[in-house]
Amino acid sequence: MINQPPFHINCNHHSIYTKTLHFLFLTTTTTMEPTIIGTSDFIKAYSDGTIERFIPETSPASLDLYDGYKCKDVTIDPSKPITARLFIPTAAVMPPSLPIVVYFHGGGFAIGSTTWLGYHHFLGDLSAATKSIVLSVDYRLAPENRLPIAYEDSYASLVWLYKQKPSDSWLQDADLSRVFLSGDSAGGNIAHQVAIRAIRDTQCPVRVSGILSIHPYFGSEKRTELETKVESADDVKSNDMFWSLSVPKGSNRDYDGCNLEKMVVSMSEWNRFPDVLVFVAEFDFLKERGVEYAEFLKGKGVKVELIETKNEKHVFHVFRPDSEETKLLQSQMNEFIHSF
């Protein structure tokens, strides 16, 4: 879930977000004036089921060289549609094969895009810093497309990599035996679900070596200690709104895509689950959930490392992609990726 002030961001590339907001509407016929039932910095939800999205500044893909990478937009499945942005490093000296990071953006499953300027620069710099091919997936958003559609769209990207590699020169050095799933907030949740699907699909054409989960977004009907505090009321309300927009109709926060304890995964599947690196931020409202995720996986026998970034908030790397803290995050991701 992304819920940060959008207009006070410093970035050496450019200003990431502008004060010009674009509106996307879902319209329905109604006889009563709808009321606002939930809001955050990037979305309003109305009582008649319509939503209003606020789109920050975006960046087009460019075949021109950036600082150590180039990128292009690709189509995973035109029928849905599912699209993605592909980043490749352009260093003068490159290893003979490159790991692949498949990245899923955050946004409570209802907002966000790899085209957002913050994601564009973070992921391009990540590609250069790790000498990895990065495929950042634009899955379909809720509430128009409720879960598990985001999981299914995201898993389709792994199949696409396998099918596309022989014909796409950008993927000629891609190592399909070293695929890493990553994402922030809701994207961390998606990475977990895609890993389970990869284990269960006996025909999965790639090998998932590890997961890099940044400030992962999970929940439950039962509140955490922080969620019960009076000062958390606004964050709780925002979280509840995003879950209500994203879980299947008739479900609640105990939906198995939300509540880790409700996920039915066999021990044989846990034994094949990849190693996980979980990042949390000291001042992130979702920090408790991230720590719980790491502890949950450890309890299942999964090899997990937990790293806390001090003095930072939720998805700081998207809002400040040029910060020293973001560069440290990328360095830690690089170390994990190249430990395999």
Residues that are catalytic: 185
DSSP state of 148: T
Strand ranges across the sheet with 82-89: 69-77, 82-89, 133-138, 98-104, 174-184, 208-214, 275-281, 304-309
Q: Which residue has the tokens 């970034």?
A: 309
Phi, psi of 53 (to 5 degrees): -105, 145
> How many CB atoms are closer than 10 A to CB 58?
16
Measured CA distances, 323 to 10, 122, 183, 240, 333 (Å): 9, 10, 19, 30, 15
